[in-house]
């Protein structure tokens, strides 16, 4: 009788010592990668370095492509495509895994620096779906680029090492927060109060200068002087910068049993890293393998680095050109024959808040990679609903390769909802399903995943590329 019933139990129960060592080693590599890759730009540059070490070459280095060739293409430093040309005719389709490199954070506004009272602040506009109260009173770092008018680019990363300062957003003391504490959680911290403290020392009075030239904001002036010394910038240079405020926390092992990873940005860097390691381990696949890291997923995949742009189509067209087989409509045909895993994190069941889940259709931490047939909200609205035939195919790959997987929904019906990049590829004709690692505290400054699930995802993505 029991053979007729599906089982869903912790994957750790069947892990032997050797596998456990592999799982823990993989997690150590992952955490090291996270600690140097907090933004989409850092993900793209570090992933490109690893790909080059494995023999990937830039698309423009190839005049012609042949089976086994490894190609990368970087789109505006924020978006990366990796491909390995397959032995089979590419018309038979691609095996694509797509994750996203961006994570929720606080972006600096175009004119961020101001003074209020005795403090200099950086004004922010939050990026993605955050619970604002989670981002105050924690150590923050600043990452990104400032591009000067002449095109010179200054890379910024400050707040990560112990000898650098951190930044913080303050909050009201509980003693005087009687009125604030009565407010709804979503309204207690206003978006316009997510401003980061960056200084407190005023610029010394300069007696020589004219009274009318004197800046009334001496603390701001002092900070600008320090920034000019450190980065060679003026206040106007902020307008052509992209500076992201992120948690300064290090990725760490979590728990007495060391089973979990706590880190910022695991949505979706955990799928980025596991799919990256999978494609780096592939040689001469049967079908052409593509691993892509998109940008702007957290704000709707818009813009020329988001999945909705046509840059990915152009990249695949270029592969067809360099294989010397392109012709009208071939791109559409290739997409219609392609298969994809949309590698994005799943909402893991949190026992403290499990009433938002239907526990018979939920992703559990430590139970393996989670497959979402559909996401969406309110009657599957806005979701790409994977076809049963395709799920049967994916299931057979996972079962043949001993991958522990679970089928889940994003919470109870009508509890909320969300989306991924899956529908964008589905619209091109690709067979696609969401398939990623369950996370606790998603979109918070310190998200939690299971080392078992991360390793299982890595194995699952590798098996997919090999089929």
329 prior amide bond cis, ω within 30: no
CB of 344 to Mn ion, least distance (A): 4
Nearer to Mn ion, 268 or 456 (CB): 268
CB of 100 to Mn ion, least distance (A): 6
Residue 40 binds to Mn ion (criterion: CB under 5 A): no
* 8-state DSSP, 117: T
Per CB under 5 A, the segment of 218-226, 239-247, 268-276, 403-411 that binds Mn ion is 268-276
Nearer to Mn ion, 160 or 344 (CB): 344
CB of 459 to Mn ion, least distance (A): 21
Nearer to Mn ion, 112 or 436 (CB): 436
Q: Are 167 and 122 in contact (CB under 8 A)?
A: yes
Nearer to Mn ion, 219 or 371 (CB): 371
Q: Exactly one of 160, 267, 409, 453 binds Mn ion (CB under 5 A); which one?
A: 267
CB of 265 to Mn ion, least distance (A): 10
CB of 91 to Mn ion, least distance (A): 31
Nearer to Mn ion, 344 or 453 (CB): 344
Nearer to Mn ion, 267 or 318 (CB): 267
Sheet (strand 288-294) strand order? 57-58, 70-75, 79-84, 288-294, 94-100, 339-342, 431-436, 369-372, 405-407
Q: Record the tokens describing residue 356, joined without a space.
A: 């938002």
Q: How far apart are CA 415 and CA 19, in angstroms?
A: 37
Per CB under 5 A, the segment of 14-22, 179-187, 232-240, 260-268 that binds Mn ion is 260-268
Site string for Mn ion, 86-105 (x = CB under 5 A): --------------------
List the interface residues with Mn ion, window 290-349 (CB under 5 A): 344
Per CB under 5 A, the segment of 202-210, 263-271, 302-310, 331-339 that binds Mn ion is 263-271
Distances (CA, A) of 183 to 18, 299, 416: 52, 27, 22
Q: How many CB atoms lie within 10 A of CB 412?
A: 14
Nearer to Mn ion, 156 or 345 (CB): 345
Nearer to Mn ion, 195 or 267 (CB): 267
Nearer to Mn ion, 69 or 344 (CB): 344
CB of 78 to Mn ion, least distance (A): 16
Q: Give, for 223, the enclosing helix (H) or strand (E).
A: helix 218-231
Distances (CA, A) of 311 to 76, 297, 302, 318: 10, 15, 12, 10
Nearer to Mn ion, 224 or 307 (CB): 307
Angle, helix 451-465 to helix 17-35, in steps of 10 degrees: 90
CB of 44 to Mn ion, least distance (A): 17
* 8-state DSSP, 205: P
Nearer to Mn ion, 221 or 268 (CB): 268
Site string for Mn ion, 340-379 (x = CB under 5 A): ----x-----------------------------------
CB of 250 to Mn ion, least distance (A): 21
Cα angle at 268 between 263 and 274, to 5 degrees? 90
The half-sphere exposure of 224 on its side-chain side, counting CA atoms within 13 A, is 17
Residue 11 Cα to chain centre, angstroms: 25
Q: How many CB atoms lie within 10 A of CB 435?
A: 28
CB of 286 to Mn ion, least distance (A): 29
Q: Are 40 and 101 in contact (CB under 8 A)?
A: yes
Q: How far apart are CA 343 and CA 270, in angstroms?
A: 9
Q: Give, for 261, the enclosing helix (H) or strand (E).
A: strand 260-263
Q: How far apart are CA 446 and CA 121, in angstroms?
A: 24
The label of the residue with tokens 């609903």 reads 385
Q: Exactly one of 69, 268, 434, 453 binds Mn ion (CB under 5 A); which one?
A: 268
3: Cβ contacts below 8 Å, ≥ 6 apart:
none
CB of 436 to Mn ion, least distance (A): 8
CB of 303 to Mn ion, least distance (A): 16
Residue 117: burial class (beta carbons within 10 Å; 0-12, 13-18, 19+): exposed
Size of the site for Mn ion (CB under 5 A): 3
Binding site for Mn ion (CB under 5 A): 267-268, 344
């Amino acid at each position: 009788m029991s053979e007729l019933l599906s089982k869903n139990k912790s994957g750790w129960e069947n892990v032997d010592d050797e596998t456990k060592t592999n799982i823990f080693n993989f997690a150590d590599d992952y955490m090291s990668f996270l600690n140097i890759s907090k933004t989409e730009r850092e993900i793209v540059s570090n992933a490109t370095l690893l790909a080059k070490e494995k023999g990937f070459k830039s698309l423009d280095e190839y005049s012609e492509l042949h089976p086994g060739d490894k190609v990368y293409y970087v789109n505006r430093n924020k978006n990366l495509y990796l491909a390995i040309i397959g032995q089979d005719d590419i018309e038979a389709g691609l095996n694509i895994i797509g994750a996203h490199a961006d994570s929720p954070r606080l972006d600096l506004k175009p004119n961020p620096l101001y003074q209020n009272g005795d403090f200099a602040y950086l004004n922010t506009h939050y990026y993605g779906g955050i619970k604002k109260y989670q981002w105050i009173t924690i150590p923050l770092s600043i990452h990104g680029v400032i591009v000067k008018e002449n095109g010179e680019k200054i890379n910024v990363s400050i707040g990560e090492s112990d000898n650098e300062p951190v930044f913080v957003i303050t909050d009201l003391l509980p003693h005087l927060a009687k009125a604030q504490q009565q407010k709804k959680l979503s309204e207690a911290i206003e978006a316009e109060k997510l401003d980061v403290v960056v200084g407190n020392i005023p610029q010394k009075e300069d007696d020589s200068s004219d009274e009318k030239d004197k800046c009334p904001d001496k603390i701001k002036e002092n900070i600008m002087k320090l920034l000019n010394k450190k980065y060679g910038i003026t206040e106007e240079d902020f307008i052509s910068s992209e500076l992201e405020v992120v948690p300064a926390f290090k990725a760490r092992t979590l728990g007495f049993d060391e089973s979990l990873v706590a880190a910022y940005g695991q949505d979706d860097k955990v799928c980025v890293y596991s799919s990256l390691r999978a494609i780096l381990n592939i040689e001469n696949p049967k079908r052409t393998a593509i691993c892509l890291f998109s940008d702007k997923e957290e704000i709707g995949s818009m813009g020329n680095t988001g999945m909705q742009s046509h840059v990915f189509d152009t990249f695949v067209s270029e592969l067809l050109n360099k294989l010397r087989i392109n012709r009208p409509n071939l791109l559409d045909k290739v997409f219609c024959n392609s298969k994809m895993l949309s590698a994005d994190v799943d909402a893991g069941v949190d026992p403290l808040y499990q009433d938002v889940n239907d526990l018979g259709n939920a992703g559990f931490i430590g139970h393996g990679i989670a497959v979402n047939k559909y996401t969406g909200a309110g009657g599957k609205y806005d979701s790409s609903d994977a076809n049963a035939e395709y799920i049967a195919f994916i299931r057979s790959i996972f079962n043949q390769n001993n991958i522990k997987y679970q089928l889940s929904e994003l919470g109870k019906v009508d509890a909320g909802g969300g989306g991924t990049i899956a529908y964008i590829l589905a619209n091109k004709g690709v067979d696609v399903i969401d398939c990623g690692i369950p996370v606790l505290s998603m979109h918070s400054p310190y998200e939690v995943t299971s080392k078992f699930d991360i390793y299982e995802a890595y194995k699952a993505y590798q098996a997919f590329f090999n089929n």
